[in-house]
Structure 1
Amino acid sequence: MIGVLFDKWGLTEKEGREILGCTLDEYQEMKQGKIEGFSGEVDEKICGALRIRTALKFWFVDEERRNKWVKKPNKIWGGKCASEMMIVDIKGVRKYLESDVW
């Protein structure tokens, strides 16, 4: 599930691993469908990514637009895109998106 989402967002394998803080082996297991047995921190970041996906559905009806938004420079983060910010603060990205949704 997470691998499909990251593919839709146009993330590289390296970006996906950096966002989740996981090893190459763990990331490949995720892309093959494994959904449990990861560290608490990795699980928390997977949950954060899924919540970002949900919040984006409220922001953008069009799937293509919401998927492109993740890689689009954003003035809220000084010209960095959401995927760059997720690497350093996935909770912050999630909270930003959810604050305007809920």
Structure 2
Amino acid sequence: MLNHDLTQHERRVALKGFFSIAKIWDLSETEQKALLCIEQDESLGKWQKEGESVPPWKVIERISCIFGIYIALRTIFPTEERAAAWVRKPNRQFDGKPAIEVMLDDPYVVRRYLDAQLQ
């Protein structure tokens, strides 16, 4: 359960972190929206501008999951490049689909898989 006492500044920092990961993983705007569970007709621009609107809790929860995936990958792989490449490579664990395809549907599946790999 997330701490719903996060300040607006802290939520903006989380969003900024997400956009950094999106850049590293080379996510399209469509992929970013799907990962954040926001409508495709909604603009990311309002969140990308410093000091603009603050994301709702459902978005913060998704960002938390994405952070966990990113950290797990950086723990498993020796370089950021290899970790980022894993996101797009076909994976037997996901019936041959790349992890990003699974994440677009349900990022928690990938998070649980990676957490188990770290045990």
Give the match's secondary structure for 1:69: helix
Cα RMSD between the aligned structures?
A: 2.0
What 5-or-longer segments of structure 2 have no aligned partner? 1-16
* Alignment partner, residue 110 of structure 2: 93
What 5-or-longer segments of structure 1 have no aligned partner? none
Change (3 A) 1:70 1:31: farther
Counterpart CA distance in 2 for 1:49 and 1:22 is: 15
Output the TM-score relative to the length of structure 2. Answer: 0.75
Cα offset for 1:89? 1.1
* Alignment partner, residue 67 of structure 1: 84
* Alignment partner, residue 45 of structure 2: 28
Bigger helix share:
1
Output the TM-score relative to the length of structure 1. Answer: 0.86
The question of whether the paired residues in 2 share the 8 Å contact of 1:9 and 1:70 is answered with yes
* Correspondences of 1:10-49 after superposition (within 5 Å): 10-23=26-39, 24-25=42-43, 27-32=44-49, 37-49=54-66
Q: Does 1:5 align with 2:28?
A: no
Higher Cα Rg, which structure:
2
The AA in structure 2 aligned to 1:101 is L
Identity %: 30
| Alignment coverage as a number of residue pairs | 101
The question of whether the paired residues in 2 share the 8 Å contact of 1:10 and 1:71 is answered with no
The AA in structure 2 aligned to 1:21 is C
The question of whether the paired residues in 2 share the 8 Å contact of 1:85 and 1:93 is answered with yes
The AA in structure 2 aligned to 1:11 is L
Match of 1:57 among 60, 74, 84: 74
User: Which of structures 1 and 2 has the larger relative contact order (alpha carbons within 8 angstroms, sep 6+)?
Assistant: 1
Cα offset for 1:75? 1.2
